[in-house]
Every structure is written in C-alpha cells, then in structure tokens.
Structure 1
Amino acid sequence: MDPQRSVILKKSIESVALPLLMLALLYLWGDVRFNYPWWWLAPLAIALRYGLAYGIGAGLVVVFGNFAEIWLLGLTREQPGGEIIGGLIATYLAGLYTTHAQSRLVEANSSLEYLEQRLESLTRVFYVTRLSHSRLEENLLTKSYDLRSALDAIARELATFGPIKERLPQAPLQHVLQLLAYYGRLGTCGVYQVIDNRVSPEPLAFHGLRFSLELADPLITCVVENQRLAYYSVDQILAGETSAYRVVLPMTAADDTMLAVVVVQDLPLLAVEEENLLTLAAMTAFMADAMRAGQLSHAVRQVVPTCPVEFALEWFRLGHLRHVAGVHSSWVLLLPGAQAAADVVDTVLATRRGLDQYWRSPLASAQSGLLILLALSGEGPTQGFLQRINTMCREQLGGDLQQLGWVVQLGQVERGSGAELLQLIEPEG
C-alpha cells in the first residue's frame, strides 16, 4: 500500500476509534460524570495531533455516538445542545491551530531543503575551485588549463542538451572521463548510467580497454545502495573479499539523484589516497549537478532561449518551492529610461548576495538592464534590498534609481515557468 494512504488510513481509524473508546469507558463508569464532558477530550486530542478535518470528524463521532448510545440502550440521559456546540468549537480551534502549525512546518522544511541543496552545490563549486587553484599552482608549467575552466566548459556543453529522459549524452561524458583520467591518474574505466537504482551494463563512455561490467560486484552494490564512493582497500584484501574493480564513483547531484557511476578497473596503488579520491568525487558531483541543471532548466530555456542556465534553474527551483510550500521569492527588473545613468548596473552587481541570481540585459543584448532574482525574499526583504541599492547609488552616483532615470518593476515568482518569465521580459508578447 502507498505510504501516504497508510498514514491517512491510520489517522482515520484513530479519529473514529478514540472517541468510541471514550464513550465506552463513560458507559462503564455509569453516572460518574464529574460535571465535565469527558468525551470531548478524544476529539480535542485528535485535533491537536492530526489537524482540523480529523478533529471535526472525531467530534461528529462523539455526537452521533452519544445519540446512538441513548437510542440503542434506552437511556434517559439528555444531550445538552450547548455542550455539543461548545465541544465542537473547542475542537475546531484546536484543529485550526494544529493545521496552521503543520503548514508552517511544511513551509520551513521546504525552505530548509532548498537551502541545503544550494549549500551542497555551492560547497562543491568551492571545493572544485580550491582544488583547481591548488593544482594550477603546483603544475602551472606543465598544464595549460585549470580544472575549473575545463569543468565549466563541459558544463556549458551539457547545457546545450535537452531534458535527459532516457540516455545521458555520450560526448560530454567522454570528456568528463578523460578529465577524470587526466587528473586522477585513472587507467581502465567507464561511465554507466543508473536508471531506477539499476546500473546499465552498457558503457556511455570508456577510457582504455573496454570490459564487461559485473553488476553483482560488491563495490557497485555498495555505491548504488549508499550513493557514496567505494574503493577496494587493503583491509578488504586482508579480509579475503574480492572485487573486479578498484574504485566506483557515484555521479549524484545535490538533490540526491544518482545519474551514473564511474567504474575504475585499473588504478595505480599510489593514486588510491584520500586527496585524489576526494578530487574525483568532487568532479563527478560537479558534473552531476551540471546535468541536472540542464534538465531542470530546459523547460524554462525552451521558452526563453536567451536565459542563462543558472538563472533558469533558480527560477524553476523557486517557483517549485512557491507551489509546494508557499515560500515567497521576488524578482526586481531594472529598466533604463531615456537619459539613464550607465553605471547603475555595475553598482548593483557589486552588491550581489550569495543566493541571488542576476541576468544582465534580459530584454535585448544591446539594451542595458538587469533582472534580479531574490531567493526566499518576500515583500519586506525586497523593499529592504531596494533601499540598500538606492542608498549605495546616492553615495556613489549622486542619486537614487528614480533620480538616475531608472524604472523599477517588482513581482513575486509564482510557478517558475518559462511562460511566466517570457511574460515578464516581453509584456506585450
């Protein structure tokens, strides 16, 4: 049975069983009532635990259960109307509080999940950048390019592909594998796609001699189950465990979607060390994020081809967050007037915050303008952002945005769709 249906069924059974149990206990007590309507404790408990709908349902069970008890057993006890109304009102207030608290909890959890994904992505980018600069300093005379530049070039190549529905693009993955072999000193290795937690036996890319993949190998099984790097260590050799491979790397994006695995059959012993393995893991995760970015942002960029990939991905993420949890995010569009100051865009870009996305010249490449996407910012934070921009413009350029000839448009991200973005940048279309 579906887990969600199981939870609903469990709540429904409790909402009916608990009031009936309370009525049965009161019947066994007889006339001992203590001048308090004890049966209303059951609907109150259900309302505080599960929310308004289940609480009202439990209250109706109490009301009809009382009348049924009087009618079936022939009791002379009367059911006061004020007690029923008061009990239902108390149950309604308790359920309303719980429902409101649950919605706030869902909103907070969704915001936290979004921030964790962004932090994971930013951490990977920072780690790759640090590794790139470290290797560049060490090998500047022998390597003509740095790691981050190579990864960015492959990420831009991945962005040209449409949504990845079945087979991952082979050409960029071949470049990724060559880069992994170059920096990680890999020998024979291959990239294998993962679909529904199952590894495809056919390689999408390979380096060195081709080999047949053993799907039941313990390293592959470990990586698919745990979504973490696994390697054949000295401890496993001493324990008598066998594996046909040296290292298996998962290509897992920040949203925990495993796209493929990199299976390394041949690796020098000195290359099996922590820094090298962390470098390989960071590179594969970086590429997985790039592939998911192209897939998620494709729906937006298909309608607005000029939109940058990072901006389209963030537009999609924040629109989905608004739809799922009601978390507000805003956009700010700066448009130049007839005699607008030209330095405003550079001044605004200098104040860029970590989570925000900026799209320069969104209306036309020849027209100066700026579209700013403010993540997790409602009306209040958006106004504070504009006040900060106006203050900086007055200090550096001698006037606020309006005095400098710039028009400011504000709005909320609703669905994060390409049609919504197109209507924003082309209102007449």
Structure 2
Amino acid sequence: MNTRAPDQFAPRSRFKRRQAQSIGAGSWWARLVAPPRGTARRRAVTTLESVLATLLAIGLCWLFRPLNPLLIHVGFVWIWSVPIVLALRYGSIAGTFSGLILLGAWYVLYPGADPSSLGSIAHALGEPHMEPQPFPVGFFFGGFAFTLLCGQFGDVWITRLGQARMANDYLAERLSILTRNQFLLRLSHERLEQDLLGRPATLRDSLARMRAVTLTQEPGNAQRGVVDLRGAQQFLDTAAQACQLEGARLYAWRDGHPHHEAAAWIGTTFELDADDPLVREALDVRTLVHIESATQQKAAQSRYIACVPLIDALKQPVGLLVIERMPFLALTRDNLQFLLVLCNYYADGVQHADVTRDLLQAFADCPYDFALDYARLVHLYRDTRVRSSLVALVFDERTASTTWYDHVLRTRRALDVQWARNTGPLRAILTLMPLSGEGSIDGYLLRIEDNLRAQYGVDFESARIAVHAMVIADAEPVNELRRLLERCDARV
C-alpha cells in the first residue's frame, strides 16, 4: 500500500525559497515599502517617502553648496529630479507635494525677496549685509510644470497598470481553473482503472453532490466569513464518505485566520489548536499537509492527521479543513489527491455561488459551467470595471439552419464557454467573451462568418442568422441575460 504523500506536497523547502526570492510573493519587505494601493499604509508610505526623499536631496545639496542648496542657476534643475521621480512613481499629487517642500525650503534657506514683497525666513534671521535675492519664478514655474506633466503621465500609467493587473489576475484565475480541470480529468480517468469496491463514492458523484449543496444551502452564522461556506456540513459529509474521514472539522476564514467556531464537523468534537505546527505549516504553504509530508519535526508529531486549506482559484484562503482521525489505509497518495480536488472544487464553487444559483434557478437548461463563468465575469466587472461581452447567434427553423447550427457548435474553441439553446423553433448559441469589447466581438463574428462561407458558401445575411450582443455588468445580471434571450426570441 502506497502511503507516501503526493509529489506536489513534498518539496516544501524549494517552495519556500521561491516564495522568499520573489518580492511579489508577499515578503515582509514588500509589504513594508510597497503596500497595496488604496490602503492607509500606502498613503502613509507615499507621504513619508516624499518628505524624506526631498529633505535628503536638499540636505545633500546643502553639504556641497551651502549658499545655493537648491542649485538655482547652475545650468540644470537637478533638485527637481526628486519631485519628478515621485510624480512618476506615485502620481502628480506626490510630485506636487515634493515641489511645495522645495518652495518652502527656498523661503527657509535663501535670503529674502524684493523689498516690496515678503522676505524669506533666512533673510529675516540673517545678517543685515546679506543681499536679498529675487524669487526665481522660472525655476519654480518650470519645475512645477514639468513635475505636473510627468505626474499626469504617471497617473495614466498607474491606472493602466492597475487595469492590466486586474485582467492578468482574471486570466490567472482562468488558467488555474483549466489546470485544475485538466488534473481532475486525468484523475477521473485513473479512477476508472481502480477497484471501486473499497470506495463508497465515485469522483463524478462527489462533484455532483457538492455542486448541489453550494447552490441550495444557505450559510449559518458559523459558516460566514470572507466567503460564506454554503452547505459546509453536506460538503464535509461527502468528503468523509468519499475519502473515509472519521473525525474532521471545517472552519470558515475570518479576519485573516480560521474562525474559532467550526462550520461543520464529523466524528467526535475537538477544538482547533491554531498554534499546532501542522496547522501553521498548512497555512504557510497553502496546500494539503499531513504527518507523512510535514517538513518540520514538530509538525510530524501533531495531534492532527492532515490539514487542508480551502484555496479558491485566486489563491486566497476561504476555509480550513482539519482531520483528526482517518484509517491508516486511507492515508494514500490517491486518496489525498482526491480530497484536495474536492476541497478546491468546493472552494471555487462557493466563491461565485450567489450569481450562479440565481442563473440556474432562472434558466433550468443553463449549463453549470456557463453559469459559473458568467458569475466570475460579473464579479470581475464589479471589482475592476473591466468589461466582458456575451454574443448570441440565432438560427431559424429551416432544415439547413440545423446544419449550420451544428457546424458552429463543432467549431467551438477549447477556451470558449457556450450555452446551446434548442428549446423552441429557434436555436441560439450564446458565447461568453471575457475581457472583450466591440473589437473582439467583430473579430469573433468575422471568424464564424468566414468559416460558414468557406464550408457552405453562406454568410449571416443569406443564412438568416441573427446576431445579438450585450456587455456583462453587475446590475441585475440575470435580468440582463433574460432580456437578451427575449431579443433572440428564445423561449425563456
């Protein structure tokens, strides 16, 4: 009997080294100097860096040129490099703030202005023989103008980079989902070759039951967290039956740590020990850890058998499954992989359960994958205002239209998420287009029309194929889809 842990659970030291070497992996230095945008710490770091960098530059120049610390009339405005860099890094507000510090430094460090105007502090405190200096209008006007210009450039690109980062996060989520689906497919094929007498459930049955509980159950108080664990008890019962768990508890994720009250449990009750070394290691590496795969000697002596953080497709924790008792013969590589797949599938399902459930209740023939991806795009627009589109091709009741309808379905790309409706005299094909605007819709329609023209010698007009499109938004997503189907004259 194979009792070794999965290969993906073993090399934790290499995982930690890679995580420590990447500043984007969440190191303490990255969180200190570059906290997330929009937070109070980010604003404090921006203000502190603007003040310190400007004062440091003035101090260095004062060491070399005590009588001209701002380097006025030296051929190039070197001191304005600091506000310009800050404007490019943080935007025009930070650059302007740094420029105002330079303006204040002129009133402090230089002898006064014209006698008719307000003199500087340096002139007021200086010797009587100190000659007043006129205010350098060109120096400050040109510096502020160039700083604002660079700040405008920085603001534009900071916004664009933020949108690109959000789009990349969505694409990374799709890639993670595809990877998990591919692994799920490989695992399901391997299970067909195994003896099912010792296992009370198949992978397909387990996934079908979990899909139902995430859509029908309402969360209780203990199941609420950053993501509500809908149907937590039913999920744990399914996992216990499929993976032969005898004692386990499931905890929701609140305020950056597992909630002290269990959302679901099986077997004898026990309290969560957040300081247990196996729990800490599982939360650190964010994957399944059990006593055979623990890298720390203390973790191998834990009171628990295994710990599984519930991680969604965005690599964020939504819960924690702690296993205290399970049969020794169930502690195998295949059984642990099965448990990890169930946990990942459940975590991804509860992440978008609200919109998915409403869509499936409104349209009984809607595929689950279409409803889930539609919910992801609704949340993407709600969080980032990045638009996605939905295109519908409607075919009439002629016999030839059936051939064209089947041909368009066969030419579907692997990454396309489609809903084929054939509930009335008219047939419709709805295709989701993530991160797509009007240009992408035109390209998609051109590809389909060229394919029909090359295969059957018809285009949309001659084939009487109606085209409808909509932008996916967060306001009443189910009603927007219903109105699109009504425009398609499809039976709702």
TM-score by length of 2: 0.72
Q: What is the root-mean-square deviation in Å for CA atoms of aligned residues? A: 3.7
State the Cα distance separating 1:152 from its structure 2 match.
2.8
Structure 1: distance between partners of 2:248 and 2:145: 66
Aligned to 2:67: 30
Is the contact between residue 390 and residue 400 of structure 1 (CA under 8 Å) also seen in structure 2? yes
Aligned to 1:409: 468
Aligned to 2:156: 100
Is the contact between residue 390 and residue 471 of structure 2 (CA under 8 Å) also seen in structure 1? yes
Aligned to 1:110: 166
Q: 1:41 to 1:175 in 2, by over 3 A?
A: closer
The structure 2 residue matched to 1:86, chosen from 138, 142, 163, is 142
Letter in 1 for 2:268: F
Q: What SS does the aligned partner of 1:29 have? A: coil
5 Å-filtered alignment, 1:340-379, equals: 341-361=401-421, 367-379=426-438
State the Cα distance separating 1:374 from its structure 2 match.
0.8
Moved more, 135-144 or 28-37: 135-144
Structure 1: distance between partners of 2:171 and 2:241: 33
1:167-195 superposed Cα distances (whole Å, 9 cap, x missing partner): 342334323321222xxxx4x23342333
The structure 1 residue matched to 2:252, chosen from 194, 204, 212, is 194
Q: Does 1:56 align with 2:56?
A: no
Aligned to 2:457: 398
Aligned to 1:211: 268
The structure 2 residue matched to 1:331, chosen from 390, 395, 398, is 390
Is the contact between residue 318 and residue 375 of structure 1 (CA under 8 Å) also seen in structure 2? yes
Aligned to 2:212: 156
Structure 1: distance between partners of 2:370 and 2:297: 51
Is the contact between residue 419 and residue 431 of structure 2 (CA under 8 Å) also seen in structure 1? yes
TM-score by length of 1: 0.82
Moved more, 414-423 or 106-115: 414-423
Letter in 1 for 2:402: A
Letter in 2 for 1:176: A
State the Cα distance separating 1:289 from its structure 2 match.
2.1
1:84-126 superposed Cα distances (whole Å, 9 cap, x missing partner): 3322221122212222232232222222222222222222222
Q: Does 1:267 align with 2:327?
A: yes
Structure 2: distance between partners of 1:266 and 1:353: 43
- In the comparison of the two structures, how many residue pairs are matched? 419
State the Cα distance separating 1:390 from its structure 2 match.
0.9
Is the contact between residue 449 and residue 460 of structure 2 (CA under 8 Å) also seen in structure 1? yes
Aligned to 2:27: none
Q: 1:245 to 1:44 in 2, by over 3 A?
A: closer
Aligned to 2:439: 380
1:243-291 superposed Cα distances (whole Å, 9 cap, x missing partner): 33323333332232333415141322x4433333223222222232233
Aligned to 1:247: 306
State the Cα distance separating 1:332 from its structure 2 match.
0.8
Structure 1: distance between partners of 2:104 and 2:197: 86
Identity of aligned residues (%): 28
Letter in 1 for 2:41: S
Letter in 1 for 2:77: P
5 Å-filtered alignment, 1:120-199, equals: 120-139=176-195, 146-162=202-218, 166-167=222-223, 168-169=230-231, 170-181=233-244, 186=245, 188-196=246-254, 197-199=257-259
Structure 2: distance between partners of 1:238 and 1:259: 25
Return 5+ residue gaps in structure 1 as ranges.
none
Q: 1:416 to 1:331 in 2, by over 3 A?
A: farther
State the Cα distance separating 1:218 from its structure 2 match.
3.7
Aligned to 1:9: 44
Structure 1: distance between partners of 2:297 and 2:60: 65
Structure 2: distance between partners of 1:94 and 1:38: 15
Q: What SS does the aligned partner of 1:358 have? A: strand
Letter in 2 for 1:382: I
1:15-38 superposed Cα distances (whole Å, 9 cap, x missing partner): 345445555666653256423333
Aligned to 2:484: 424
Return 5+ residue gaps in structure 2 as ranges.
1-31, 113-118, 124-130, 224-229
State the Cα distance separating 1:236 from its structure 2 match.
8.8
Q: 1:271 to 1:176 in 2, by over 3 A?
A: closer
Moved more, 156-165 or 107-116: 156-165
1:32-75 superposed Cα distances (whole Å, 9 cap, x missing partner): 64233333222212112212221133234434543565322336
